[in-house]
Structure 1
Amino acid sequence: MKRIIYLSLCACLLTSCSLDLQPENGLTYSNSFNTEKELNATTTSIQYYINTTVGNNYDFATAGVLADNILDGKQLREWNPRTVITSEYSWKGFYDIIFESNLLLDNIDRTKDLSPERRNYHVGQAEFGLGLSYFLLAQRYGDAIITENSSVIKPYQQSSQEQVLAAAIEHAKKAYDVLPTWDKLTDLNGNAITNRQTASKGTATALLAQIYAWKGSVTELYHLKGNAQEDYQNAVKYATELIDNKVGSYQLCASPEVLCTYLSNEKSPNPEAIFSLYFDKTRSENVVSPNEIAQNYVSWPVREDQTLADLTSSTTYQLYKSTVETLFPDTTDKRLQAFFYQWGTQHDVDGTDYAIMYKFRKAIFDPDQYSPSGKSYRTVDADYVYWRLADIYLLRAECNQKLGNEAQAIADLNVIRNRAGALSYPSTYDTEGLKKAIFLEREKEFIGENDARYADIIRNGYVKEELQGKFKVLTNQDIQNGALFLPLPKDAWQDKDGHVINNQLRQKPYWQAYN
């Protein structure tokens, strides 16, 4: 079989690299799906594109990151419209995942001698890929394209955010229905799969909790069609299945220090990790961790090519000690000692005392004859733990608070505080109410670790309070017109030579003036 398939929606030219295995699918498909080995090539491609796409969230990570200084992207942080619309964002990677997932689902019935269990494994990876892609497209772009399958060639119109989220839920539920728990995952040779990127029932459950929490929030805050209260209830339902170990065994790390030990050792499976992007160091000699946030926070002493004095000139994200003290007013909180290097010791650079991020404690360096240290920093040596159990506790707390179930919300909030040795809610430091306390707890727990802060801000309606620049003057009409989402990417409607390939797409009203 030889198939040549063009995706007019995104001028999709699929690349070929590896996540342990080399994807065999490209623009020309010669594999026939006759055997599971051939089928597995497409499953591997789905895994590869998830690995290289999901963590690529530079614009929103830059806009939402908690930092006092950043070396790059200051105009993005201010949400300067002309800077945003000319930045190098793209949704192509998501449509690579969608295409490969649809390709597998369209052809899996041609695979011979595939047991029901192995069929469910491959279908589950594809359905999770579709659910995750549509969720993140809705979260980052609002409106997006929903494709029919891997072979229909036509210019697609945008679907509304409500429709894209509905598609995400549909596929996530299908993954939830067929996938086993993570401890029962095996590869085509019968070997146990230990990485937490491969989708399991727990992964699909976390995805459903995240989708429903987002859907309820944007429905309530930004006047989408739907039932926010029902969405919050569904988010609580799926979060509870995870917390109660009904969809796999996950446990909170015993302390913040133990958590940091796991974050810095990808070879030791983190019991708290539900979904992680695997750091495949064999892919190339220049490969970096999928976790750009952690990579950009790390400085001296983890960076052996730095001294403390170099912090302000070569560390992308910088935090003042005073900012961390404001975020963590409770000095009994063990996260201060675990997350920040030598907390309590002054780290003065040019008259300013800095907090030194210490969540990730291993780095990869390359030889550099021009560096005084003889080496240059490449990346942190860590997987990207995208969702972990603490996230699910705090997400359930957030949704219960929005449902008016304050006792349940407080109980979950205090699980995370108690693990950190911090004062229980309510304490003398909780002066802004339960909703803000939960939001701030997420800031404390995930600082320097993931790109979730922008989404947390949008979900809770704290745009003008927590973001900078243009965000502070956006009107309700600006928000309705798409200002909080990325503009339609150029590669959605034109090819690399500037030729229009899809004339059915329309730029969001807010961004039209800046095209």
Structure 2
Amino acid sequence: MQNFKTMKYLKYITAAFLIFSLQSCSDFLEQEPGTQTSIDELLQNKAGVLTAMKGLYGAVEENVRGERFAVYSDLQGGNIKFTPTSSGSSIGQITPALNVREVYSFEDTEETSNFESVYTGHYSIINQANLILEYTPKLTDATDAEKNQIKAEALAIRAYSHFLLSQIYCQDYSYTSDASHLGIVYSTESIKAGLKYPKRETLATTYSLIINDLKTAIDNYSDTSAMTGPVYSYFNKNNTKALLARVYLYKKDWANAYETANDVITNSGVQLVSSSNLVAQWVQPDLPVSEALLEFTIPRDAESAAKVTMASYFGFNANTYARYVASNDLVNLYEADDLRKQLFLTVNIQTLVNGLLTPAPYNFTRKFQDNAGYVAFRLSEMYLIRAEAALENGQPNLGMSDINIIRARANASLLTNTLNLKENILLERRKELCFEGHLFFDLRRNHLGITRNDGCISTNCSIAYPSPKFVLPIPLYNINLNENLQQNESY
């Protein structure tokens, strides 16, 4: 049995290496017909490592921008719903999208998990980052500063993937009083270093390892990215601090959350988009909003045409529309004069109602049209983190001040007292960060249940906290590869 598992695992490793090679450096590897460069050869020099880094960023972008993760938190929390089928015999019918069908109803299974590709994708990313971390110190044609920069970016990616895995597969940090419940397998060595069958860490240890990776990355950054291209597309000191601030928020380490978010706000050089430009910034094609701290570059073909973008899920044009729109649960939260309400485009679509096709209004987000990329971090989130941390640190007036900065920018009415400030902070996060992957995780870390009303076609529209279904099952394929990998409760 062990030999069979080892052979199966080795097959998986070979596939992972092959995927890494093909995604990272297809042109670089074509030395002559019928031959390819091995991992060892590729990573022997700076050019090869940077080629691998480019592939690594592409893999990260694909995994977070992919439909499953890109819609997960907003769909589960109730910010978005489905559009009706646009043609064919099912025209007007509303059904869950295939890639999230079971997840949407909190009925995902380990045997056929909707998220198997997300789980394996993140560990492939982590393995690639570890390979780069193992080879970079040996480079003879890179300066120490260049090697440290590569190390910093790879560590940030490793921490980011581990953190996203913990969000999907682990209960929130305060689920137990000491975070001693199940975390994830934290991988710090490539599979090339040898076969291992590790156990899952506790969530407390998982977070400690994430934080250590991020702090080490921050200490190693230089002023120049290892990669060429838009600065906002790669990890740097500022957006790594933004990730660290988010990790502290989820850990409920309020002092460090405040300090780190404040550092980004004060020292990053990035400014909030002004009221006068808020809508225009979001709807501009090809470029992210100027307050974006990290938005991964979308893939393009040889003619520089965008291949897959966030518009694949949220887009609308005169002829076609995507599967996901805002629920009225979300849209109705905005005041009439809130500028963010202009970020919804209302379109009537033929919908099957009581057996008849009837035009019904649907609200498409204007955030993710025209070649939009996945927004990983932006400055407004840092204000919202600082606000929540200030409140929890016993400084509610500072928290209210930060909330009012965001509300004033949106032309929303300002808070005049700190009563119910926690609820107002969470409400502001829902309105400001909608479609950016926060709502479900915000509800869960605050021990709040799920209530989905408008457009909910799930078998479970409301679920109280706590619930074992607030985390997904580890895919059975991965459980079979590692006999020490413990499955989540109820799966």
Query: Does 2:367 align with 1:359?
Result: yes
Q: Check whether the contact 1:185–1:193 (CA below 8 A) recurs between aligned residues.
A: no
SS of match in other structure, 1:355:
strand
- 2:23 and 2:374 map into 1 onto residues whose CA distance is 17
The residue correspondences of 1:345-424 to structure 2 (distance < 5 A) are: 350=358, 352-362=360-370, 381-424=371-414
Alpha carbons of structure 1 residues 358 and 27: separation in structure 2 relative to 1, 3 Å: same
- 8 Å Cα contact 1:68-1:318 kept in structure 2: yes
The alignment covers a number of residue pairs equal to: 434
Deviation at 1:77, TM superposition (A): 2.4
The corresponding residue for 2:178 is: none
Alpha-carbon separation, structure 1, partners of 2:490 and 2:28: 39
Distance of 1:173 and 1:453 partners within structure 2:
27
CA contact (8 A) 2:443 2:450 kept: no
Any conservation in 2 of the 1:7–1:153 contact (CA below 8 Å)?
no
Cα pair distance change 1:440/1:259, threshold 3 Å: same
- Please identify, of 133-142 and 432-441, the stretch whose mean Cα deviation from structure 2 is larger: 432-441
AA partner of residue 358 (structure 1): R
For residues 113 and 483 of structure 1, the distance between their equivalents in structure 2, rounded to whole angstroms, comes to 50
Deviation at 1:135, TM superposition (A): 0.9
How is 1:72-83 mapped onto 2 (pairs within 5 angstroms)? 72-73=96-97, 75-82=102-109
Secondary structure at the counterpart of residue 327 of structure 1: coil
Cα deviation 1:134-192 (Å, max 9, x = unaligned):
111111112221224121312121112222211111111111111135xx4354xxxx6
**Pair 1:451–1:115, CA change in 2 (3 A):** same
Q: How does 1:447-466 map to 2 (within 5 A)?
A: 447=434, 449-465=435-451
Structure 2 residue runs of 5 or longer lacking an equivalent are: 1-5, 31-35, 84-94, 171-182, 352-357
Between 409-418 and 458-467, the greater mean CA deviation after superposition: 458-467
Counterpart position of 1:442: 429
Secondary structure of the 1:282 match is coil
How far off its partner does 1:21 sit? 7.9
Contact 2:59 2:125 in 1 (8 A): yes
Indicate conservation of the 8 Å contact 1:10/1:493, yes or no.
no
- Alpha-carbon distance in structure 2 between the residues aligned to 1:10 and 1:213: 39
Contact map agreement 1:397 1:412 (CA 8 A) in 2: yes
Match of 2:160 in 1: 132
Take 2:277 and 2:289, find their aligned partners in 1: how far apart are those partners? 13
Q: What is the match of residue 368 of structure 1?
A: none
Aligned residue number for residue 89 of structure 2: none
Specify whether residues 52 and 9 from structure 1 end up closer, same or farther in structure 2 by C-alpha distance, changes over 3 A only.
Answer: farther
Q: Which residue of 2 aligns with 1:115?
A: 143
Please state whether the residue corresponding to 2:413 is helix, strand or coil. Answer: coil
Amino acid aligned to 1:327: L
User: Which stretch of structure 1 is more off in the superposition, 193-202 or 388-397?
Assistant: 193-202
Change (3 A) 1:23 1:130: farther
Q: Distance in 2 between matches of 1:153 and 1:356?
A: 47
TM-score, structure 1 length as denominator?
0.75
What pairs up with 1:322-337 in 2 under 5 angstroms? 323=329, 326-328=332-334, 330-337=335-342
The residue that corresponds to 1:219 in the other structure is: none
Q: Secondary structure at the match of 1:199?
A: coil
**Taking structure 1 as reference, are residues 138 and 260 closer, same or farther at Cα in structure 2, changes over 3 Å only?**
farther
1:355 partner letter: N
Give the letter for the 1:395 counterpart: I
Is 1:298 matched up with 2:315? Answer: yes
Counterpart code for 2:184? A
Report the secondary structure of 1:54's partner residue. Answer: helix
Structure 1: 5+ residue runs without aligned partners? 217-230, 307-313, 363-380, 495-500
* Mapped partners of 1:10, 1:87: distance in 2: 22
Does residue 144 (structure 1) correspond to residue 184 (structure 2)? The answer is: yes
2:490 maps to 510
Matched, 1:66 2:90: no
Distance 2:205 2:427 in 1: 31
What is the one-letter code of the residue matched to 1:384?
Answer: Y
In 2: Cα distance, 1:433 partner to 1:6 partner: 57
State the identity %: 21
* Structure number with higher helix proportion: 2
Decide whether the 8 Å contact of 1:92 with 1:491 is kept in 2. Answer: no
- 1:304-319 to structure 2, matched below 5 A, reads 304-306=318-320, 315-319=322-326
Report if the CA contact (8 A) 2:72-2:437 is conserved. Answer: no
Distance in 1, Cα, partners of 2:416 & 2:11: 50
Partners in 2 of 1:30 and 1:392 — Cα distance?
40
Question: In structure 2, do the counterparts of structure 1 residues 65 and 298 end up closer, same or farther at CA, with 3 Å as the change threshold?
Answer: farther
Q: Secondary structure at the match of 1:119?
A: helix
Instruction: Check 1:60–1:7 CA distance in 2 against 1; reply closer, same or farther (3 A cut).
Output: farther
Displacement of 1:72 after TM fit? 1.9
Cα shift readout 1:38-57 (whole Å, capped 9, x = no counterpart): 22233223212211122341
- Shift, 1:243, TM fit: 0.5
- CA deviation digits over 1:104-125, x for unaligned, max 9? 2212222103212211211111
Matches within 5 A, 1:164-243: 164-180=206-222, 184-185=224-225, 187=227, 193-216=229-252, 231-243=253-265
Whether contact under 8 Å (1:463, 1:471) holds in the other structure is: no
- Say if 1:260 and 1:8 are closer, same or farther in 2 by CA, change over 3 A: farther
Residue 485 of structure 1 deviates from its aligned partner by: 1.3
Counterpart amino acid of residue 341 in structure 1: L
TM-score normalized with structure 2 length: 0.78
The CA distance in 2 between the partners of 1:10 and 1:168, in whole Å, is: 29
CA shift, 1:316, in A, is 1.6
How far apart in 1 are the matches of 2:37 and 2:73? 30
User: How far 1:64 sits from its partner (Å)?
Assistant: 2.7
Deviations 1:217-273 (A, max 9, x none): xxxxxxxxxxxxxx12111111001100x2x32111112754543553334x64201
Q: Does 1:89 find its partner at 2:107?
A: no
Tell me the distance in 1 between the aligned counterparts of 2:395 and 2:111: 39
Q: Tell me the distance in 1 between the aligned counterparts of 2:121 and 2:361.
A: 40
The separation in 2 between residues aligned to 1:10 and 1:77, in whole angstroms, is 32
Q: 1:7 deviation in Å?
A: 10
Please give the secondary structure, in 2, of the residue aligned with 1:386.
strand
Q: 1:124, 1:41 → 2: CA distance? A: 16
The answer for the alignment partner of 1:366 in structure 2 is none
* Distance in 2 separating the partners of 1:348 and 1:185: 49
